[in-house]
Structure 1
Amino acid sequence: MAVPRPKVHAAGRRTSTGRCVLRSAAALSGVAALVIPAVPAGAAGAAAPPGGVERVLTGHGTVSGQGRSADVDSDMLLAGTNTAGGNGAPGAGGGWWTVSTAAEGGSPPYAVWAGRLDGTGEKKLISPDDGRHHVHPVTDGKTVVWAAYQDRWCYLLARPLDGGPVQQLTSSQGIGCAFTTLGVEGKTVTYTDVGYKSRTTRAVYLRMGEGDPVSIPPTGGGNPRTTSTSTPSLHNGKIAFNDCKYTGSTGTLCRIAVLDVATGRRTVVADAKLPAPTALTSRYVYWLEVEDGDTRPRALHRANLDGSDPLVISPASGEDALIIDGLTVSEDAVTVAARTVGGTAGPGTAAKLWQFSPDGTRRERVSCNGGDQVSPASAGARQVVWIDTTTGKRDLVTRTRPAGTCG
């Protein structure tokens, strides 16, 4: 299939796809290795959300229960989640948020909590108190799905928000095994299965209660250790994912593809240079790419589901280029966590959330908070939840619309 070359928004330039070389299955996966220390079964878990601070409904900037105000423009959902890196990434959907929390200082085990995006009602402890590390939660507003780790075992778990038992969807065993980039929509669950013992990485989907997980195979097959599918995103019964293959003669060749679960039809959307996570709406596929010779995503791409009308929303180089570390979308907006290119460490170059319109004509800061803003999750329309360090802790916060230019 011939893949059209993308347009570049605003600058009027066009980009061409290229090839990059990878030497390891871990690099092929597009997913970092996750190392979780062993936790004895039955270790004490968190009985209440860290911080115990409720969101103030009367306006931005005030953190109740601690007798102080912070210079913030976001609404607090949960103070002091205490989890770092990918373990602390929240999920959002259907009017709910969910996040993994830890005790003060980030000590294990981790627990999954959920609450309403409007701040009303009681927060709910979703994960069992069983000594496992419970991380990477996502929700569609009806079900929470997350990963749990203990020793060399990995588990994929689910639980309804309205109550009921925890359901084990699948499990895996091996050094460095992991379930990442989770998604849930009704009964359908997607994830990346990283098997470091088998040296394979696969995008997988399953229907809760309706059969075994289904691995999405790489195009053309080949040696499992030199091929991968990964980072699936789910919307309206379709799955976007990365499809990569390494050969000694050509290096690593990657594509963005879309699978229609109901029909089994698979569509190649674009060639891509070491793509990072995908994101999907009813109309568009979004993905991140690195620039030649780089190792961190810098370019934000978009195309129609059939691969037509490709567009570079945020280019890899130039005055406004970003180093992007997170991607989340809704029908109305695409949001990234990013640092500016060429910046040095410090408050002025902390990671910030940037929100674009789907056509790339609008670019705004989600929040003017001074701390790091990481791990964004779209809550629908232009609302985003994320982890923010402005108060000196890792807080779960939200805004229903962008703050603007933050000039």
Structure 2
Amino acid sequence: MALLGVTALVVSAVAAGTAAPAGAAVTTAPPGARAERPVSEHGTVSGRERTVGGDSDVLLAGTGTTGGDGAPGAGGGWWTASTAAEGGGQPYAVWAGRLDGTGEKQRISPDDGRHHVHPVTDGKTVVWSAYQGRWCYLLARPLDGGPVRQLDSSQGIGCAYNGLGVEGKTVTYTDVGYKSRSTRAVYLRMGEGDPVAIPPAAGGNPRTLSTSHPSLHDDKIAFNDCKYTGSTGTRCRITVLDIATGGRTVVADAGLPAPTAITSRYVYWLETEDPAAGSRALHRVNLDGSDPVVVSPATGRDAMIIDGLTASDDAVTVAARSADGTTGPETPAKLWQFSPDGTRRERVSCDGGGQFSPASAGGRQVVWIGTSDGSTDVLTRTRPVGTCD
């Protein structure tokens, strides 16, 4: 793939829609996974007790994956996740299933020796990244069957596709260049053309400029647009791109922002105010930049060290640890869900293990990776549990 510069708008070494081998056939469960029971209507697993907590539905047990590579996706009534090879090693494989626990799980990625990670879905298509040697691939496959499609590819140590999103034919991601060391938010329309890199608004050295962390909703993309200078450090703006019109709206200035999340009404993002403290503020603003709200502060009694962000029209959810000194780095993260205005803050689950990589499934339902008693599982709840006192 052509390296992404400031003025480069179209980047691709492989035309979108190029067919790849169809891959492995659908099977009923990932190798080595424990059996799970169907999801109940109450946010708990009917007939099955979890050893710690016990208040979450198990969608996929024994994945063997944690961290960014194991992050699940959710949308359109489906979940996606990566599972490790036997013994917890590479290569990872991408699986999908229904959020209500019914039906058979599907292996989406081919059994081809590549490392398949970062899957997302809108309930019709699964999009994910694959890595092998110095090559990076962006792949897609329909949930109702069909071949794996290669949407893009890149070569070089450190190349990466991450922060993926899919909605209909639109796919978004962050592309990390190799030689230029530049980072660009990118979108493409599957089957309708090459990937389009979103250029930074500022001019100058491409290595000091970046766009990144895109999030997608209704063909609008929220992303970070950043510039580094020796005198001011890194300064960023949170921007919304309307794909249909090409119009860009700057909705906020930000110092050191992290992921974004966009809904039909709001843009959310995390921002580090004091790198030494480690805590991050959760911000919200209207799509036109009006009515800014700090949903969760970076300082004070309620400050948190946040490592994950996802949102729907009804709620915004983070994976976080307390920043007040009562917990240390060894304390596992927990999921917290806020109302859009920040007036409601609740625990998603009281499970005693770690809770990582939340993915909104719409409404107040969240899918995440949970760890307890040596097991790593894909879990869900349709609503938060409230308090865990």
Matched, 1:177 2:159: yes
Question: Taking every aligned residue pair, what percent have the same amino acid on both sides?
Answer: 76
Matched, 1:84 2:66: yes
Aligned to 1:19: none
Aligned to 1:343: 326
Amino acid at match of 1:186: G
Contact 1:45 1:129 in 2 (8 A): no
Q: Where do 1:216-295 residues align within 5 Å?
A: 216-294=198-276
* Structure 1 residues 224 and 45: alpha-carbon distance in aligned structure 2, compared to 1, 3 A threshold: farther
1:293-322 C-alpha deviation (Å, 9 max, x unpaired): 437451000000111100100000111111
Contact 2:39 2:58 in 1 (8 A): no
1:160-188 C-alpha deviation (Å, 9 max, x unpaired): 00000000000001111000000000000
- CA drift of 1:69 comes to 4.8
The secondary structure found in structure 2 opposite 1:87 is helix
The secondary structure found in structure 1 opposite 2:68 is helix
Contact 2:25 2:107 in 1 (8 A): no
Which range is displaced more, 242-251 or 94-103? 242-251
Contact 1:177 1:197 in 2 (8 A): no
- CA drift of 1:57 comes to 3.9
- The ranges of structure 1 where at least 4 consecutive aligned residues each deviate by more than 4 angstroms after the TM superposition are 44-48, 61-64, 67-70
Aligned to 1:17: none
The secondary structure found in structure 2 opposite 1:259 is strand
The secondary structure found in structure 2 opposite 1:112 is strand
Contact 2:53 2:350 in 1 (8 A): no
Q: Where do 1:100-249 residues align within 5 Å?
A: 100-249=82-231
Contact 2:321 2:327 in 1 (8 A): no
Structure 1 CA distance, aligned partners of 2:349 and 2:67? 20
* Structure 1 residues 195 and 295: alpha-carbon distance in aligned structure 2, compared to 1, 3 A threshold: farther
1:166-215 C-alpha deviation (Å, 9 max, x unpaired): 00000001111000000000000000001133211000000001111000
The equivalent position to 2:352 in structure 1, one of 357, 367, 370, is 370
Structure 2 CA distance, aligned partners of 1:288 and 1:294? 16
Contact 2:78 2:97 in 1 (8 A): yes
The secondary structure found in structure 2 opposite 1:277 is strand
The secondary structure found in structure 2 opposite 1:105 is coil
Aligned to 2:4: none
- CA drift of 1:253 comes to 1.2
Structure 2 CA distance, aligned partners of 1:364 and 1:90? 21
* Structure 1 residues 68 and 400: alpha-carbon distance in aligned structure 2, compared to 1, 3 A threshold: closer
RMSD (CA atoms): 2.0
* Structure 1 residues 330 and 252: alpha-carbon distance in aligned structure 2, compared to 1, 3 A threshold: same
The equivalent position to 1:52 in structure 2, one of 26, 34, 59, is 34
The equivalent position to 1:388 in structure 2, one of 367, 370, 375, is 370
* Structure 1 residues 210 and 297: alpha-carbon distance in aligned structure 2, compared to 1, 3 A threshold: farther
- CA drift of 1:45 comes to 12
Amino acid at match of 2:348: V
- CA drift of 1:249 comes to 2.1
Specify every segment of 5 or more residues in structure 1 that has no aligned partner in the other structure, as ranges. 1-43
TM-score, normalization: structure 2? 0.89
Specify every segment of 5 or more residues in structure 2 that has no aligned partner in the other structure, as ranges. 1-23
Amino acid at match of 1:237: D
The equivalent position to 2:286 in structure 1, one of 298, 304, 324, is 304
Structure 2 CA distance, aligned partners of 1:51 and 1:63? 18
Structure 2 CA distance, aligned partners of 1:287 and 1:361? 17
